[in-house]
Structure formats: C-alpha cells, structure tokens
Chain A
Amino acid sequence: MPDLNQAGLTITPGTWLYRLPWIGLGIGLAGMAGSAVLAQGHLQEFLHAWLVAFLFFLSIALGGLFFVLVLFATKAGWGVSIRRLAENAMATLPIFALLFLPIAWGAGQLFSWWEGPGEDALLALKEPYLNAGFFLARAAAYFIVWSAIALWFASRSARQDDSGQHSITRRLQAASGPCLILYAFTVTFASIDWIMALDPHWYSTMFGVYFFSGCLVGIFAFLVLVMGILQEAGYVGQVIHKGHYHNLGMLLYAFMVFWAYIAFSQYFLIWYANIPEETIWYLHRMHGTWSNLSLILAVGHFGVPFFFLMSRVIKEKPRLLMAGAAWMLLMHLADIYWLVMPNVYAHGPHFGILDVAALAAVGGVFMGAFGWALRRRALIPVKDPRLPESLQLDHA
C-alpha cells in the first residue's frame, strides 16, 4: 500500500493547478466580456451559443453526480480513489444556477412559446407545461435538487477525510438510491425543458435517456483527462494506476456505445414510422450542411472510437486513452451543438467566435469552480474505508 503522505494528494501552492480558480475565472470573465461585445445585434445567436456551452459543461457535472451516486449505491471499492475528482465536478452544480441566468433572461429569444401560444393550437394544448412561470419554477427545482445532493455528498465525503467514520459511508449509501430516482426525473425534465422545448412541437420519449447517455460520455472522458493531467503534473502518482484507467476507459467505451444505441434507436424508430410531426426534427438536421455534422456524429461519436477504444492496450496507456477521451469530449460538444443549433441556423452549422466566447465564459467558470474544489480538499478520499481496495486494484 502506498504511503499516503508521500503520494502528492493535495495541490501544491504556487503551481498553475493551485491558481486554476483564478485562471478559470479569468478565462470566464474574458469570455463573458467577449460574449457581451459579440452579442450586440446577434442576441439570438449568442443565447443559443450560451445554451450549448451551458449544457456541455452541465452535462459533465451531472455525469459526475451520477457516477458518485452509483459508486455509493453499488458500494463499489475500485472507484474510491477517483471518486473525489467526480465529486469536484459535481460540486460545481450550484454555479450553473448562475450560469443559467442569461438563459432565463433571454428565454424569449430561445423558445417560441415563451410569450404564450398565440395562434398555435398545439402550443395552446401544451401551455400548462410550456409557460414562462412554470419553466422557471422547474429550473429552480432542478438546481435546488442537484445542488443539495451534490453539496451534501461532497461535504460528507470531505468530513470523512478527517474522521474516517464508517457511518458516513453508510449514510451516503442509504441516500444514494432515492437520490438516483430524483436524478433520473430531474435530468429527464431538464433535457425536455432546455433542449426538446426549443422545437416545442416535437417530442420523443427517449430524449431524457439520450441526454443522460451524453452526460456519462462527458464525465468519463473528463475524468480520464483530469486524471492524466494530474498525474503528469506529479500528483496522485501511486494511488491511481492503470487499472483505474482501464476501468474508466471501459466505462467510457460502454457509454459511448450506449449513446449510439440510444441515438440509433430514436432515429431509426422515427425514420421507419415516418410520421411528419416526428421526422421534421431529423429533417432539420439533414438539411444543408447539417447532414455533414449528422454524419460526423455517427462516425466520430461512434464508428471511430468503437474501434479505437476497444483494445485494452489503448485503455491502459494514459496518453492514448487521454487522446481518445479528448476526442470524445469534442464529439460530445458536437452532439450538444447538433441538438441545439439547428434552432437558429437552419442551413448548417455556423461555429464561430461567438460560440468560442460562450464556451470560454461557461467553461472558464466551470474550470475555476472545479479548480477551487480541487485544491480545497485532498485529491482522493484519504480515509474512505474502501480506499485500500481501490489502491490495490489489480484488474483480472
């Protein structure tokens, strides 16, 4: 068992990782300033770009929340030494309530139903759900639920760093099940509210699962990258080893395939039944150069990584796995872009400086909050009773 005092388990003051909160905040503020300037006269485009950035980083944080809950629910031992990193990702969730403010403010530019159904008979039927007041109330409820669960789990886990009490683990295990049920419904309805309602006539029962599968691709890719970066900076050298990379790589692979399964099923069933009110959503995504992005998603989010990440050799080499993870994050971003943007650019993707600014703004704040969480506590749950099992992870 490695000596936990020597393992580089806290961020050293003075390094760039220690300054990550300020670096992140700087990037975030620069992004916001840039967005503010660029949004002049392009308010609608800006809001959509912001929504993409918001959903992209939110999905990583939500993936982290799920991963932590599942580790507790399954009493998993192997993942303990990487759990703290996922905890730090989910601990950023309260910040997203602030990052949501531009969306709440500019919802009229995003959602055609915001001002009321007007002449639209279908929207009139949906008005009890799709109206401004209820929309905002639901958003508040999501953030309260997510933040409460995330902060409670993170703070208990941190408290265990001092006391090492087993009772903390037991309480978190007991709470994880009900929390997962809350999670399933909040994430589903959030994806309905923030993505599906962009095209308010369209509906698909699969949609919540689709967004959820993206969240998991996001968090596993993110964790691989963070682990790799930390180890290259000299941290957690002895406590995270190739077994953890292999396991995370397998999970990334599994949920990448799961995403493809869900995406294909949704597309296929709609294509086959060929009901106009459903196919229209895909028609938008096959119109003009959007069809190229659709194809890129099929090949890049599934085809290429299906073969690249299949081999165990690659999953056990941090550098190669990191390359795969970075690619998956890029594809995940493309997926979110593909979900949101046809709403504003009808003829094809239009990725420009406005999108970069929004990504910098949201991503900077996210990275800052993540970096802050990272340096506040040890990088692994040092007194988790199952830590020894994770440290000895010798995969079969």
Chain B
Amino acid sequence: MEGLKSFVDAAMPCGPVSRKGNFPNRGSGAVSCIMHPMIRVRLPQKKRELDVPGPRRVMDILAEAGVRPTTVIVTQGKRLLTRDHKVEDGETIEVISVVSGG
C-alpha cells in the first residue's frame, strides 16, 4: 500500500488544485488516479475553494492562496487558528476576510 501511495504521489505531484479538479494526468490513461485527501481551503466571500497538500502551516496556506494574514481570520469549525498552526491532510479550514469598506 505504501508503495502504491508513493507511486501515485510521484505520478501526480500535487500543487494546489482548484475545486474544479484540473488534474494533470486526468484522461491520459497513464495513471489510475487514487486521490489522497488534501487540505480543503474555503474562501467563502470570494466564493473560492482550493485544495493544498498537507501538512502545512496556516501562514504557508495563506501565502499559497495569495491572502495577506492581517486581512483575514482563519477558522476550523468553532476554532480560530493561529498562523503557525499546522493543518493536516483531510482537514478543512475557512479563510474569512475582515476588511470592511466604505
């Protein structure tokens, strides 16, 4: 099983993957794609979601999503996450903008 996982990882080097699922090997027939869970990042105000491979710190996820840390809070269920919190594969976090205009 471990061997299969490393084979899939090598065949599908997962950078951030958009919610629409733009997988590099889809449809090529070269790899039978077995999805391993990633971190689901939801940005509800931007109506955007992305998946990033874990484990990864909140600050790195924000950098990947192009979001400045002072402009958001990051939540997981009823918890607030600090920037150095490490998020694991299979977990979902929400990035909520705090900037109000006017």
Q: Do A and B bind each other?
A: no
Residues of A within 8 A of B (CB): none
